[in-house]
Amino acid sequence: MRVSGLIMLVGLIPLAALPAVAGSVSFSLNMTGEYKIVPVNDGGPILARAELQPLAGTIAPFGQAQATFTSGSTPTMTFTLGNGMTITASIVATVGANPSQPTTINGTITGGIGVFQGASGTFTATLTPTQAGAGPTSIPVVLTGSGTLNAPKAPSGLNVLPSVLRFDIANGSVSPASQSLMLDNEGLDAEAFQVSVTTASGGNWLSASPGSGSVAAAQTLAIAVTGDPAPGKTALKPGVYVGTVTVTYAAVSVSIKAYLIIGGLGANLLLSETGLTFQGGEGGYPSHSTNIQVENVGVGDLTGLTAKTSVTGPGANWLHAAITPIPGNPQVSTVAISVSQLPANAGTYYGRVDFSLPQTLRKA
């Protein structure tokens, strides 16, 4: 039985590293927010100042985003997309005589996280106050503009996560179970896709929706995959049923195994932990590994147990798993989960450990 067993949280972006393909894209900004009017009580001629609050809206073609402004000797704007990827730019603002007048912003893109690591480019935008809704403590604003971005490390294609799907159904139950298959576009162009399903036995118990569509640049889309223990209103007998979900885009096909397990026959892996978090300095190493236990509470022992690790985003696999059997107890093993050198950029990164016992798989 192949069991998808443990998702490790290490620090943000959504399996296999895609090849880096430099690309350029034009983008446009359409966001809203507000100035917060803050009193100044320093005895000088200025009685109040306007502080720009975080903006929210869209960056086409990347979708929903937020923008934050940081003042200082080199003012910056950071745009954060819905999946956590960021674009950072230094800016020069030409402000009006007062907060009620438009401000012109010229930005120089200096990098980012995820697809936008090492990015460059420029944009021009206008921050326009609106009188509708203005009051003594705040003034609504609209940010519009456009620019061009070059991402030298942007991969092309889709990451498909996870690498295996498992549906556990109690004996006698006729209620379908669903899981999400994530399509992560780490490129700068929209990726059209199609999804198909097949089953080796048991009839048409496996389905996926939507069956086709498009994932916008630097965005993630969820496919709902369902395992039905009673296809055609006829309940399946207890056992293990095997199917395949195939995601096709461009000239690439990615196949994901799906297991419908009815009645808990065969091996049944139980994990002492289903999530872990490691913390480390930028580009550094976490201070220790963490041990978990894997137990087969079903039929058989753990002979042949394997652990396969995978991580999201481009770059080397930084997640590792080492299995140590427990003498005298073939149903239990200890697994040391550790992290090698973290990615260079600060952020949150996801990894996954899949445990499998292929020799115990029984096809119904």
Distance, in Å, from the CA atom of 218 to the CA atom of 195, rounded to the nearest integer, reads: 20
User: Residue 220 in contact with residue 62, Cβ under 8 Å?
Assistant: no
Give the lowest-confidence range in 42-46, 126-130, 325-329.
42-46
pLDDT at 282: 54
User: How do residues 57-109 score in pLDDT, each as one tens digit?
Assistant: 999 988 889 999 998 889 999 999 887 889 999 999 887 667 678 999 999 99
User: How do residues 17-53 score in pLDDT, each as one tens digit?
Assistant: 344 445 788 999 999 999 998 887 766 666 677 889 9
User: How do residues 134-161 score in pLDDT, each as one tens digit?
Assistant: 888 899 999 999 999 998 877 777 889 8
User: Residue 76 in contact with residue 70, Cβ under 8 Å?
Assistant: yes
Give 3's strand partners: 355
What are the distances in angstroms from CA 343 to CA 84, 178, 348?
A: 15, 33, 10
Distance, in Å, from the CA atom of 98 to the CA atom of 258, rounded to the nearest integer, reads: 61
pLDDT at 51: 87
Closest-CA residue to 121 (of 22, 53, 33): 22
Residue 187 Cα to chain centre, angstroms = 14
User: Residue 70 in contact with residue 52, Cβ under 8 Å?
Assistant: no
pLDDT surpassing 70 at residue 361: no
Does the predicted model carry a pTM greater than 0.85? no
Distance, in Å, from the CA atom of 61 to the CA atom of 28, rounded to the nearest integer, reads: 8
User: Which 8-state DSSP code applies to residue 342?
Assistant: P
Distance, in Å, from the CA atom of 93 to the CA atom of 18, rounded to the nearest integer, reads: 37
User: Residue 155 in contact with residue 187, Cβ under 8 Å?
Assistant: yes
pLDDT at 184: 86
User: Among the ranges 187-201, 253-267, 346-360, which has the highest mean pLDDT value?
Assistant: 187-201
Q: In what order do the strands lie in the sheet with 212-215?
A: 164-169, 252-262, 239-249, 191-199, 212-215
User: How do residues 284-326 score in pLDDT, each as one tens digit?
Assistant: 555 568 899 998 766 667 888 899 988 876 678 888 999 999 8
Give the lowest-confidence range in 8-22, 68-82, 101-115, 339-353.
8-22
Q: How many residues are there in the chain?
A: 364
Place of tokens 């590792």: 320
Place of tokens 């899981």: 179
Distance, in Å, from the CA atom of 165 to the CA atom of 245, rounded to the nearest integer, reads: 9
Assign domain 2-19+155-359 one CATH number from 2.60.40.10, 3.20.20.370, 1.25.40.10, 3.40.50.1980.
2.60.40.10
pLDDT surpassing 60 at residue 7: no
| Domain assignments of the chain as residue spans, ordered by start | 2-19+155-359, 23-151
What are the distances in angstroms from CA 69 to CA 34, 72, 90, 154?
A: 12, 10, 10, 25
User: Residue 251 in contact with residue 164, Cβ under 8 Å?
Assistant: no
**Amino acid (one-letter) located at 266:** G
User: How do residues 262-289 score in pLDDT, each as one tens digit?
Assistant: 876 566 778 888 788 777 655 555 556 8
Place of tokens 């022992």: 301
Instruction: Please report, to the nearest 10 degrees, the dihedral formed by the alpha carbons of residues 98, 103, 108, 112 taken in order.
Output: 90
Distance, in Å, from the CA atom of 283 to the CA atom of 111, rounded to the nearest integer, reads: 17
Closest-CA residue to 78 (of 113, 106, 46): 113
